[in-house]
Amino acid sequence: MRDEFVLRMIESFSEVHTEQYFQFVKKHVKRFNSVLDIGCGPGLLLEQICERFNPGSVTGIDLRPEMLEESKIRLKSFGKPYSLIKQHLQEDTNLHGKYSVIFASRVLRSFENLDDVLKAIHSSLVDGGYLVILDWDQQPVKTYFEYFEQSSSFQRLTVGEKIRRRRNFSWYSSKDWEFMCNLFSFNFIATMRISPVHISMIFQKN
């Protein structure tokens, strides 16, 4: 039986990785020679990248073995080199090579060592390489309430629990993402609103 977190990631994947998101990536990212997905989860993004962008090679990093097992199933039919690495990026930020694109979906916000991770991303990109972030965008409490309204697990919470839950997702705003990536020498390329509480942003290394 699948782990509950794995299931949640599978179920919610297409709510944020929409057709418009992939069109946005296609429009701005000009090379897909080697691709890294940080916090790759069950591998759905890697699978989509392989199908849509025909990369030369792909790598996924995740701390959970059950996520990597799922990713392996999805990458089995990809006819080119791939690697899946079990690693806790808050303990070790080595990204194992150079990439033309690094994706980080729904993962960066929670890193205590975000500065070290952004530095590692920067030095692991080739010149002109891209960082594609998809993450939560800090919003008022009311916006989270409205966003989660349909979710039965959210409906079961008390008002206090709902207010506290929002804190998990509201670490940074889109302005914060832009500011922090600029601090680590990324150039802002484009942003796209995914939902009232999610954004995607693309940065490029000089």
Ligand X SMILES: C[S@@+](CC[C@H](N)C(=O)[O-])C[C@H]1O[C@@H](n2cnc3c(N)ncnc32)[C@H](O)[C@@H]1O
- CA-to-CA distance for 26 and 54, rounded, in angstroms? 12
- Applying CB under 6 A, does 47 fall inside the site for ligand X? no
Q: Look up residue 112 and give its DSSP letter.
A: T
We find the least distance from the C-beta atom of residue 120 to ligand X, in angstroms, to be 12
Work out which of 26, 30, 88, 193 binds ligand X, going by CB under 6 A. 88
If binding is defined by CB under 6 A, does position 107 make contact with ligand X? yes
The least CB distance from residue 91 to ligand X, in Å, is 8
108 to 127: interface string for ligand X, x by CB under 6 A: --------------------
Phi-psi category of residue 61: left, alpha or beta, with phi > 0 → left and psi -120 to 50 → alpha: beta
Stretch of 21-29, 87-95, 135-143, 179-187 lying at the interface with ligand X (CB under 6 A): 87-95
> Distance between CA atoms of 65 and 53, rounded to whole angstroms?
26
Q: Is residue 62 within the footprint of ligand X (CB under 6 A)?
A: yes
State the DSSP H helix or E strand holding residue 153, giving kind and residue range, or none if neither: helix 152-155
Q: Six-digit token pair at 51?
A: 């199908």
The interface region with ligand X, picked from 20-28, 46-54, 85-93, 145-153 by CB under 6 A, is 85-93
Q: Please report whether residue 9 would count as binding ligand X according to CB under 6 A.
A: yes
The two structure tokens encoding residue 188? 């802002």
Nearer to ligand X by Cβ, of 112 and 127: the residue is: 112
Residue 89 makes contact with ligand X by CB under 6 A: yes
For residues 82 and 58, what is the distance between their CA atoms, to the nearest angstrom? 5
Structure tokens at 196: 């009232």
Interatomic CA distance for residues 60 and 45, integer angstroms:
10
Identity of the amino acid at 80: K
Query: 110 or 127, CB closer to ligand X?
Result: 110
Question: Which of 18, 57, 63, 190 contacts ligand X by CB under 6 A?
Answer: 63
In 3D space, the residue among 136, 145, 149 whose CA is nearest the CA of residue 164 turns out to be 145
Report in angstroms how near the CB of residue 62 gets to ligand X at its nearest.
5
Q: 10 Å Cβ neighbour count for 149?
A: 9
**Counting contacts by CB under 6 A, is residue 105 touching ligand X?**
yes
What residue ranges bind ligand X (CB under 6 A)?
A: 9, 13, 39-41, 44-45, 61-64, 67, 87-90, 105-107
